[in-house]
Structure 1
Amino acid sequence: MKKFLFILSSLILLLNFAFGQDKAIYYEKLDSNMFRFYFDKNYYLADKSCEFKSIERVATLNPKTQKFDGAFKDFNNNGRLILEGSYINGSKEGIFKAYHPNGILKWEATFKNDIPMGDVIHRYPSDKVALKLLYTDSVILIQDFWLPDGTQKVKNGEGNYSFSIPFEGYNQYGFEYYLGKGKIKDGKQEGNWQILGHDKGGKQTLIALEKYQNGNLLVGNDYFLDNSYRHSKFGIIPYDVFARGELLTFKACNFDDFSNFNMFISKALTNSLIRINAENFTEDNFEYKIKLDKEGNPLKVDFIKMASFKNLNIILEQLISDISFYYPSLENGKPIEDILTVTGKMYKNSEGKIAVLPIIIHREKGQ
């Protein structure tokens, strides 16, 4: 999937470099090989005038290889520096520094051949140290951890840990972020861990229970996923999605794309369709209309185009009918009833399984 998106975005950027841009402006040339790129907060390329554009990168790009090469700086919409570092032929090399919106150093890391190595220190916006991590060739170790008030909870790789990680875009849980709580031994997760979800009001809900031995996940029980999903290990250290910008993958300027909602639906469909025998399958398309109420509840589904394979068609129709929520359409900032046209493309992935590309949602009235 990532490979496909990279090829697609690379093709579009190559055409733009050769023939100039049409409509959306994802970058602008400053001089020589220096460009200004426009990203959303998740480092997908965004149109310069898009309401979701929140990051501008000034960097040198080799138009032939489409790789960053040299020093770069990222700024937020207020013009504050939020990240700086250097690339050598597309590989992260040397010191990278990230900053909180208030200008305080967020983290600093030294990259060698695209991989962080050695000590990485994370700080709170107050400038107090939050985490000291050790990156090795094979594992990331939690060395020390402090609460915002300065209380140390993990020392020399031993202690109790709890850190909040934001969800990126739409998620099946409906939470803004999750908190992992458990024991650290020799810098790794050990024993029983809780994963707690937090909504906008700060309400805490148990998402999953996990059990670890020497940092390896032994058991994971997820209370919000059905059997069509596989439980995967939740990350417990802060992460930065800036590396996604290296792929130069763009998104359309709409909330369904920005929130990853269309990607969420495509993954949900893929998780079910990969079980189907795809021996004679190559690719296919589907399209349907759905009437939506103000709360985002689907009231009626009309299938316009379904799959060519009868058995696949039956399964796909049931899966789509089971989707119980879509983001409600907005008009002048208020939710409205609307009719959505949803199109998708299925293809055979590198493993010979049926997968679904990110769907496209068109809203008749709202946005």
Structure 2
Amino acid sequence: MRYSLILLFTSLWFSLSAQSEKPVYFERADDSLVRFYYDMNYFLVDKNCEFKSIERLAEFEAKTTNFIGKFSDYYPNGRKMLEGNYQEGKKEGFFQAFHPNGQVKWTVTYQDNVPVGEWNYFYPDGKPLMQVLYFEGRSKLQSYWDQMGNQRIKEGTGNYDFKVPYPGYNPYGYPFIRYKGRFEDGYPEGVWQIFFENDKKRQIAGQEEYRNGRLVAGEDFYTGEPYKTPKYPLIPVESFIQAESILAKGCTYDDFSGFLVYLRDFFNNSFNTFQVESLPSEDFSVIVQLTKNGAVRKVDLQIELDPNNQELSKALIFVANAVEYYQPSFKNGEYVADEISIHGKAMLTAEGKLNFHSIRIERPAEQN
């Protein structure tokens, strides 16, 4: 579940901590500071949630839902993770992040909510990682060093081989993505390869071709689909900006991993060309029988959007069955078979298309 907290801030400001039956996403720390609780991707979570990874101390204006003044973010061990400053809700001035061991992770300066000049990244041992130059609303890679300390890109030119956590839920079960290609004068050039990785293996996932820094052709090797808009960022993207959206997630792994967002988008994309004249109900529910490995054994429709539209009902079953990878249920330290329920809502747009939202999952095996 993913929802906006703007109304919550304006109508129930600082009241959550006094109501134990409701999640506590924030609470007053002192007369001027508020303590916020986030997961690792800067979505608000309950203070007692197992996925809570970050605490922020900041001044906050409830009326505008804006951060104001200086703030500091902290790791679970109490060490500082990030510090910076907001001015009327916009990032302003010097920002500095830290690795869990206390070493500087990156530094950058913001002007009117936009990074300017050099964004310098460092490895946990303090050695330089990369330098990105921001100017006139653009960015270019200046330098890059591998983990052995060898400079692979100098003055914007050289070979790039870099691994980062996969951004969001990966339907193929890989937690990392690696990019391999060449930069010229600060921009990607020529043929690039994209890999999915875990601790034991690497699988090529796609290929892209750049000319003069622009993507001219890309292919997803898993789906076989071509694309011309970059699917993944080549340089690190810092998730702390997400904190400004004031969005919360429930305390389940499906929320935390981004699987619910993936399911919503998967349903919307799958029904992109499906036309519907009317929608008697906005609620639907699908039952999916899963093995302990996440493989689908059977899909049944529990609640139909329109009992009189069998084509729509069959399409819902087909789409639920087409999901590439379901996260299996987890109990007593191991994955187990389960019969999960996918609940959600759909609305009909003016163009006669379905818009799915409010997706949630019930896992009986994890609850018993």
Q: TM-score, normalised by structure 1?
A: 0.91
Q: Return the alpha-carbon distance in structure 2 between the equivalents of residues 144 and 283 of structure 1.
A: 55
- The CA deviation string for residues 252-272 of structure 1, in whole angstroms up to 9 with x for no partner, is 111111011111111111111
Specify every segment of 5 or more residues in structure 2 that has no aligned partner in the other structure, as ranges.
Answer: none
Name the aligned partner's letter for residue 157 of structure 2: E
Q: Return the alpha-carbon distance in structure 2 between the equivalents of residues 38 and 19 of structure 1.
A: 15
State the shift of 1:65 in Å: 1.0
Distance change >3 Å, CA 242–CA 16, structure 1 → 2: same
State the shift of 1:85 in Å: 0.2
Match of 1:360 in 2: 360
Distance change >3 Å, CA 267–CA 282, structure 1 → 2: farther
State the shift of 1:324 in Å: 5.2
Q: Find out whether 1:335 has 2:331 as its counterpart.
A: no
Match of 1:112 in 2: 111
Specify every segment of 5 or more residues in structure 1 that has no aligned partner in the other structure, as ranges.
Answer: none
- The CA deviation string for residues 62-98 of structure 1, in whole angstroms up to 9 with x for no partner, is 0111110110000010001010001112111111101
Match of 1:298 in 2: 296
Q: Any conservation in 1 of the 2:16–2:23 contact (CA below 8 Å)?
A: no
Match of 2:9 in 1: 13
Q: Any conservation in 1 of the 2:188–2:212 contact (CA below 8 Å)?
A: yes
State the shift of 1:278 in Å: 5.6
Q: Any conservation in 2 of the 1:169–1:258 contact (CA below 8 Å)?
A: no
Larger mean Cα displacement after TM superposition, 115-124 or 343-352 = 343-352
Larger mean Cα displacement after TM superposition, 99-108 or 300-309 = 300-309
Match of 2:165 in 1: 166
State the shift of 1:138 in Å: 3.3
Distance change >3 Å, CA 179–CA 322, structure 1 → 2: closer
Q: Return the alpha-carbon distance in structure 2 between the equivalents of residues 154 and 76 of structure 1.
A: 32
Distance change >3 Å, CA 317–CA 30, structure 1 → 2: same
State the shift of 1:321 in Å: 2.7
Q: Return the alpha-carbon distance in structure 2 between the equivalents of residues 248 and 64 of structure 1.
A: 13
Distance change >3 Å, CA 9–CA 142, structure 1 → 2: same
Count of residue correspondences: 362
Q: Any conservation in 2 of the 1:33–1:62 contact (CA below 8 Å)?
A: no
- The CA deviation string for residues 237-291 of structure 1, in whole angstroms up to 9 with x for no partner, is 1121001011111111111110111111111111111222367569822112222
Larger mean Cα displacement after TM superposition, 264-273 or 35-44 = 264-273
Q: 1:307 aligns with which of 305, 308, 330?
A: 305
Aligned residues with identical type, % of pairs: 36
Q: How large is the RMSD of aligned CA atoms in angstroms?
A: 2.4
Name the aligned partner's letter for residue 365 of structure 2: K
Q: Any conservation in 1 of the 2:343–2:359 contact (CA below 8 Å)?
A: yes
SS at match of 1:168: coil
- The CA deviation string for residues 108-153 of structure 1, in whole angstroms up to 9 with x for no partner, is 1111111111111111111111111101223210111111222111
Name the aligned partner's letter for residue 323 of structure 1: V
SS at match of 1:357: strand
Larger mean Cα displacement after TM superposition, 220-229 or 231-240 = 220-229
Distance change >3 Å, CA 366–CA 128, structure 1 → 2: same
Q: TM-score, normalised by structure 2?
A: 0.91
Spell out the pairing of 1:60-75 with structure 2 (5 A cutoff).
60-75=59-74
- The CA deviation string for residues 332-366 of structure 1, in whole angstroms up to 9 with x for no partner, is 22222322121011235698753322510011131
- The CA deviation string for residues 158-197 of structure 1, in whole angstroms up to 9 with x for no partner, is 1111211211342023212111111111110011111122
